[in-house]
């Protein structure tokens, strides 16, 4: 996957020199596992970073989709956060737009993930990076749809989904938390063929 450049934002591969910034990101947004000492947390993040870099190399060698995290950079090239392409295995058939079957089993979709350091939030970087990556995914991978998920109360991520043009739906079940709110974005060539139904009342009420 190439480096992606946009207005005031860019996306690049992870480097081993990103370790300190990755540690700060996980600490600042509360993603680090509770109870770990600073040394244990750093060792865990270092192991993850080494895997993430090798994962990108091996997926490319195997001609597989480029799942994994990349770095969001601001206009100065500073580390602002992470964005990635992730496999999503969830009961998408439970969503109103996908049939609303409460007994639906798991199905696979290609997901979009992002996380910003607090000092860089509120500047449009998450939306800009998500737009850059989703445009590339549609053009380079030929995807028909991209999905994203978050919790009911994550208004910032829900706002990014809306700005991307995603259809927002609420899942009545609170578990798993990352599937409480689901966003889906159809490929540009499919938009003219499929008219999105209005958002369900449950989603509007929860947001």
Q: What is the pLDDT of residues 68-107, one digit of tens each?
A: 999 999 999 999 999 999 999 999 998 888 888 888 899 9
E strand intervals along the chain: 4-6, 9-12, 68-73, 79-90, 107-116, 145-150, 167-170, 181-186
Residue 83 confidence (pLDDT): 98
The CB density around residue 196, as the number of other CB atoms within 10 Å, is 12
- For the four alpha carbons of 110, 115, 120 and 124, in that order, the dihedral sign comes to positive
C-alpha span between 158 and 164 (Å, rounded) = 10
What is the pLDDT at residue 190? 60
pLDDT value for 186: 95
Question: What is the pLDDT, as a whole number, of residue 202?
Answer: 32
Number of domains in the chain: 1
CATH for 49: 3.40.630.30
Q: Which two tokens stand for residue 179?
A: 């599937």
Residue closest to 133 by CA, chosen among 175, 90, 73, 178: 73
What does the pLDDT look like over 10-52, one tens digit per residue? 999 999 999 999 999 999 999 998 999 999 999 999 999 999 9
Bridge partners of 81, per DSSP, are 72, 116
Structural domain containing residue 47: 4-206
pLDDT digits (tens, 9 = 90+) for 132-144: 999 999 999 999 9
């Amino acid at each position: 996957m190439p480096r992606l450049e946009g207005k005031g934002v860019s996306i690049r591969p992870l480097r081993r020199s990103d370790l300190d910034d990755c540690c700060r990101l996980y600490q600042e947004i509360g993603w680090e596992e509770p109870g770990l000492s600073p040394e244990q947390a750093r060792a865990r993040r270092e192991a993850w970073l080494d895997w993430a870099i090798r994962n990108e190399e091996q997926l490319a060698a195997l001609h597989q989709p480029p799942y994994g995290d990349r770095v969001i950079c601001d206009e100065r090239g500073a580390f602002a956060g992470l964005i990635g392409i992730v496999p999503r295995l969830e009961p998408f058939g439970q969503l109103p737009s996908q049939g609303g079957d409460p007994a639906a089993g798991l199905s696979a979709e290609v997901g979009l993930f992002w996380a910003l350091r607090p000092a860089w939030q509120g500047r449009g970087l998450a939306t800009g990076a998500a737009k850059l990556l989703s445009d590339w995914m549609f053009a380079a991978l030929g995807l028909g749809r991209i999905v994203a998920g978050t919790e009911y109360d994550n208004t910032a991520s829900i706002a990014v989904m809306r700005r991307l043009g995603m259809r927002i739906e609420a899942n009545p079940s609170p578990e798993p938390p990352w599937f409480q709110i689901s966003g889906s974005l159809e490929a540009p060539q499919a938009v003219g063929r499929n008219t999105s139904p209005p958002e369900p009342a449950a989603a509007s009420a929860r947001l």
